[in-house]
Amino acid sequence: MKKTKTSGDNLRKAWRTAVAKYQKPVVSRSIWMLINSLGAYLILWVLMVASLSWSYWLTLLLAIPAAGFMVRVFIIFHDCGHGSFFKSTRANTLVGILTGLVTFTPYHQWRHNHAIHHATAGDLDKRGTGDVLTLTVKEYLALPPLKKIGYRIYRNPFVMFALGPTFVFLIGHRFPSPKGGKRERQGVWWTNLALAAIITGLSLLIGFKNYVLIQLPILMIGTGAGVWMFYVQHQFEGVYWERHENWEFDKAGFYGSSYYRLPKLLQWFSGNIGFHHVHHLSPRIPNYNLEKCQQENPVFQQVKPITLLSSLKSLRYRLWDEDRRRLIGFGQLKQLQTKPTPA
């Protein structure tokens, strides 16, 4: 039976009216965020260099806040990609490219892929670009044994949040996506060239070994935290996923993107991206306006928040069960096969 879109139309009218006044970036706030994020990251990097002569344990300790500021720099990069950090397209592009070097991410390619993600999040028929690969139960069961093993390895938490993110940002981002155009491909190669120059310069200054001892733990912690945030924003209990014929953008924003209510310090480091339902509906809202938009508009408060503790449930999710419209773990497969499908 075809689903009615009445509720979706009501949602659309309500949120579009609500978000308009929050979409304008404030240049002074954007510049201050750039200074306190990028500046703090660079200061901590210098302190980590100095700490090498004292104790590497101190270096690793400093890597934790440095990774936090790297995440915050990535939020600036992210906002630039949406054109929401500055009013000027040129300013967004320039700052996006520069912050992309800090986060090892080619700006134009990432912006292209992320735009696809925003246009298709929650659409089961358009998975595969800018998202975390999630198979349906039927798709998984139809795989040959070796591919099942490969998918299980991919969805293992250690791979997804430790090894995987480091590989993607350090190696994966060095290659152009086949779905990108000329600008995206050139952006990848120019980013690689600039990173090679930066790494060479720093290696000549402090030694390549010292560079790796500093940058690698920052990258591992920062990318792991960032991927976890992205994962929880779209893989949680009650998440909305539909086949394309029934998919609705408004419902995907409200119910396919989480409201991740974090402690204030973590919320600050993550640039308010926990208000992800608001962000997905209106990516032109700068990160520093997301909380205010949520607090001042009841339409967004209907979304049940996920806490840091409750978000840990997401670790067990591996597959989408279309028949029961929920995420499940591998351990539930046998149980599903012995139960009748709901009518």
> pLDDT tens digits, residue range 247-288?
988 888 889 999 999 999 999 999 999 999 999 999 999 999
Model confidence at 11, pLDDT cuts 50, 70, 90, reads low
Rg (CA), the chain: 21
For residue 338, give both structure tokens. 């012995």
CA 12, distance to chain mean position in Å, is 24
pLDDT at 107 over 80: yes
Higher pLDDT, 303 or 76: 76
154-197 pLDDT tens trace: 999 999 999 999 999 999 999 998 878 899 999 999 999 999 99
Rounded to 10 degrees, what is the CA torsion of 214, 217, 221, 224?
120
- In the prediction, which pLDDT does 301 show? 86
pLDDT at 4: 41
Q: What is residue 260's three-state secondary structure?
A: strand
- Separation between Cα atoms, residue 80 and residue 91, nearest integer Å: 8
Predicted pLDDT at 6: 40
Q: Is the pLDDT of residue 37 over 70?
A: yes
pTM above the 0.95 mark?
Answer: no
Mean pLDDT throughout 305-323?
93
Checking if the pLDDT of 97 tops 50, the result is yes
- Judged against a pLDDT cut of 70, whether residue 1 lies above it is answered with no
Is it the case that residue 20 has pLDDT exceeding 60? Answer: yes
Contact 19, 299 (CB under 8 A): no
Q: Which residues, in sequence order, are bridge partners of residue 319?
A: 135, 328
And the tokens for 22? 């929050």
CA atoms 264, 269, 271, 272: torsion sign:
negative
The answer, yes or no, to whether residue 152 has pLDDT greater than 70, is yes
Q: Position 269: which residue type? A: F
Confidence of residue 337 (pLDDT cuts 50, 70, 90): low
- Residue 94 clears pLDDT 70, i.e. is over it: yes
pLDDT at site 342: 56
Considering only CA atoms, which of 323, 290, 320, 201 is closest in space to residue 18? 290
User: Which of the four pLDDT bands, split at 50, 70 and 90, describes residue 331?
Assistant: confident
Residue 304: phi and psi, rounded to 5, are -70, 130
Q: For the segment 186-225, what is each residue's pLDDT rounded down to a tens digit?
A: 999 999 999 999 999 999 999 999 999 999 999 999 999 9
Task: Please say whether the beta carbons of 127 and 322 come within 8 A.
Answer: no
Buried b (16+ CB within 10 A) or exposed e, 172-190: ebeebbeebeeebbebbee
What is the percent of the chain where pLDDT is above 90? 81
Contact between 99 and 37 under an 8 Å Cβ cutoff? The reply is no
Provide CB contacts within 8 A for 63, sequence distance 6+: 48, 214, 217, 218, 221
Q: What are the residue ranges spanned by the domains of the chain?
A: 18-337
Element (H, E) at 244: none
**18-36 burial string, b = 16+ CB within 10 Å, else e?**
bbeebeebeeeebeebbee
For the beta sheet containing 319-321, the strands, ordered from the edge strand earlier in sequence to the opposite edge, are 135-136, 319-321, 326-328
